[in-house]
Amino acid sequence: MFFRPALFALTALASASAMAATSVSNVSFVNGIAISGALLDLSTGSDFDRRIGFFSDIYYDRTRNEWWGLSDRGPGGGVLPYETRVQRFTIDINPVSGAISNFQIVQTVKFTEAGVALNGQAPAIANVLGKSFDPEGIVVNPVTGNLLVSDEYGPSVYEFNRSGELLRKFTTPANLVPHTASGTDYNALAPAGSSPQLVGGREGNRGLEALAITPDGRYAFAVLQNGTVTDGYNASSGTRGQYTRIVKYDIQTGQAVGQYAYQLASSGQGRGISALVAIDANRFLILERNNRGIGVGATLSGADKNVFEVDLSSASDVSGLNLPASGALPTGINAAAKSAQIMDLDANTLAALGNKSPEKWEGLAIGPQLANGKYVILAGTDNDYSVTQNGSNTQFDVYFRMTDGDPYASSIQCPVGLTTGCFATATSASATLTSDYQLLPGVLHSYTADIAGYVSAVPEPHTYAMLLAGLGLVSVARRSARRGERR
């Protein structure tokens, strides 16, 4: 039996307790689904413009029983004009096992400012900060219902109403703002097509990748994908430091009130942070990954994607410090406490991807509570819209061959009517595009886990009546599930 998880949200609210200690244990993979790369959102426009970029982040709003899947700056890696957006979706969850099925898009919300769409194009003279927008992390404020979104370009945190209209921009800490030696803010003035040498602030394309919100809606926590330019980044070699920053914002004021050092497991190819999920006011799940696996332009082997638990209760504020490229922090300065690995996202693969790991595991969310008390955890991938481009910014679709999961096994002839082209490797031979080839899918994995001390979100006042009315239904649903198990 499958049904929508409205009752689970009520269960989680009713059973939440504010325990001081939290831990995630007994994590089990349940199942995964591959979602067609040709799936379109519910906006208007061409099929290319409406192709879904899937899960740059995932958020489960348990007070409203809503799932949100964030698309990033659009196909083309910031080269093409693209009206940024977020998708609200539904998914069936088995109330006993946690197995997922039947993914459906039910709403597309575009991000706008004064009625004008925020654009995914990278910053340039004609598209400066405030117009350029690369959404990477999303949460819903449990008190107001507004959407908070982290932006990789700024790096910034924006607040939107539920229709996607910009309400305000949080203040970006000065040490995160990218700037050149002359002090020029790169986002505010960047000649088209240029990448000026940054001497401070976030590294290029490594801004605020992850976002979480405390259960009471008071604080937001955003994480740089990697540390700032002055946190051990070497521009000549391209190597990065071992620490990144978790930034704490007071949602009421929109000001940053703390920064905390987080030590990455290793550097590796593109190693960085992709997602953050609050367990309580101090503890979080955090997703680290490298840039290997099935993806647009990625090396296929050596995928490494892991989830850890992090505790900020004893971490030092490092707002005024540059973090070392390697080695220990200064005496008396504590990094965020970090657990051993609790989830290995590469350990379970799907036949639909040739039993190989996707490149960009970027979405992570704690979902509803099951009848046995365990919680569902969903992890999702960003498929980059299954699009790449050449040096002249001509766009190409990226297909992979299902029999081996390799997007680069051979050249592919474009089917009739395809206007954006097909990806072709350097090999001289070409292959006819058959049913064996598909656009890169989005992937969702379902896990279950015990989460001791998990604090669920505080509901809005009008949801209390729904909560009380639903508790009886939860009891009925649980008794029915138990009877089903006994049968």
Q: Is residue 402 part of a domain?
A: no
Domain that includes residue 376, residue range: 6-46+54-385+447-486
Phi-psi region of 193 (alpha: psi -120 to 50; beta: other; left: phi over 0): left
User: What CA–CA distance (Å, rounded) separates 84 from 136?
Assistant: 11
Q: Is residue 408 part of a domain?
A: no
Q: Is residue 367 part of a domain?
A: yes
DSSP 3-state of 9 = helix
Q: At 444, give phi and psi (nearest 5°).
A: -120, 130
Q: Is residue 397 part of a domain?
A: no
Q: What's the CATH number where 319 sits?
A: 2.120.10
The whole model's pTM is what?
0.86
DSSP 3-state of 46 = coil
Amino acid at 433: L
Give me the half-sphere count of Cα atoms (radius 13 Å) on the Cβ side of residue 46. 7
Q: How many domains does the chain have?
A: 1
Q: Is residue 439 part of a domain?
A: no
Peptide bond into 155 cis (omega under 30): yes
- The residue among 85, 94, 93 whose CA lies nearest residue 42 is 85
pLDDT tens track, the chain, 487 positions: 444 443 333 333 332 222 234 589 999 999 999 999 999 999 999 888 999 999 999 999 999 999 999 999 998 788 888 999 999 999 999 999 999 999 999 999 999 999 999 999 887 655 555 568 999 999 999 999 999 999 999 899 999 999 999 999 999 999 999 888 887 776 665 544 456 678 889 988 889 999 999 999 999 999 999 999 999 888 777 788 999 999 999 999 999 999 999 999 865 667 899 999 999 999 999 999 998 888 877 777 889 999 999 999 999 999 999 999 988 999 999 999 999 899 999 999 998 888 889 999 999 999 999 999 999 999 999 999 988 776 666 677 787 777 666 665 444 555 444 444 455 433 334 455 667 778 889 999 999 999 998 886 655 444 333 334 433 433 434 444 444 444 4
Q: Is residue 441 part of a domain?
A: no
Amino acid at 419: T
Q: Is residue 178 part of a domain?
A: yes
Cα Rg of the chain (Å, integer): 22
Q: Is residue 144 part of a domain?
A: yes
